[in-house]
Every structure is written in C-alpha cells, then in structure tokens.
Homo-oligomer: A and B are copies of this chain.
Amino acid sequence: MQFNLRLLKEDDFLNGFFDTLSNLSEIGDLNKNSERIKEIFKELSCNKNFKIIVAEDKENLKIIGTATLFIEQKFIHDGGKVGHIEDVAIKKGFQNKGLGKEIIKELIEIAKEENCYKVILDCDEKVSRFYEKIGFKRHSIMMRINI
C-alpha cells in the first residue's frame, strides 16, 4: 500500500475524510452540513497551532488515515511548547498496515520543527503497546468530566 502524507484540504471532506474519522468515533450529522464543515475548516486552517494531516491512498487519492497535532505554548519549561496528538483514525480495511505508525511519526517530526519539547496523547490500554513501539512511555492518567 502506498500513500502520501499531507495537510488536510477542503475537498478531502468529499473524499473519505469522514469515512476515516467515523472508524474512530461518532461523527453525528456534521457530514451533512457543508456550511458548518467549511466554518470549522476555515477556523482551524487559520490557527497555526493546529495541524490536521491525512494519508491519501496513492492509487485512487482517497483519504485512508488522519490525525491531529495541536501545539500548546506554555509558560513553564522556559516558555516551551507541547504537541498534543488527537483523533488518530485509520479507515476500516486499512488498519495494521503500518499507516498509523507513519502518521504518528510525521506528527512527531512536525512537533520537532515547531520546537516542542514533548508530544503527548491519551489512549486506551488496548492501543498503548502501539504507541510504546514508536517510543512513547506511559506517563499519567487522563481524567474526564462530561458537561
């Protein structure tokens, strides 16, 4: 399987992006609301701290993977920056082919270019081994409150 890694573009929304994301979590009705999608895309594109990357199948140029990096500027650690990885999703049928690993490694490279001193992410126990193979270490507990 051959793929390109690149930043999300607006026409990816008609090209498998939501199919891919839906393998991670519920999308709701957003994919039926093209105006709202455009609004969100515009907002995120203007934010230099947000990088959504996609993997595009070289054969048919459909989106088959995605993940987001956002960069947090801190006052601690000498005004350092932290990269947060969110919403890692691989399209059904394209898992366990090394695609996720390449996407994560690409986000780590972007975080390096942005001078982050660390990259963090939250994940379930069952996928922690995947991240450990890339070099991540268990660090702490993620806690959540629904509001």
Residue A95 at the chain B interface, CB threshold 8 Å: no
Q: Copies of this chain, how many? A: 2
List residues of A (33-50) whose CB comes within 8 Å of B's CBs: 36-37, 40, 43-44, 47, 49
User: How many residues does chain A have at the interface if contact means C-beta atoms less than 8 Å apart?
Assistant: 61
Interface: A60 (CB within 8 A): no
Interface residues of A in 90-130 (CB under 8 A from B): 108, 111-112, 116-125, 128
Which residue of chain B lies nearest to A124 when distances are taken between CB atoms in the complex?
B140
The answer, among B30, B44, B74, for a CB contact under 8 Å with A86, is B74
Once A122-B122, A147-B112, A147-B119 are accepted as A-B contacts, the answer to whether A21 and B75 lie under 8 Å apart by CB is yes
SS class, residues of chain A in contact with chain B:
mixed
Contact with B along A66-78 (1 / 0, CB 8 A): 0000101111111
Contact residues of A with B, CB < 8 Å?
A: 17-18, 21, 24-30, 36-37, 40, 43-44, 47, 49, 70, 72-80, 83-84, 86-87, 108, 111-112, 116-125, 128, 131-132, 134-147
New A-B pairs, 10, CB < 8 Å, besides A25-B77, A122-B143, A128-B141: A28-B78, A30-B78, A37-B79, A47-B49, A118-B145, A124-B141, A131-B143, A138-B142, A139-B141, A142-B142
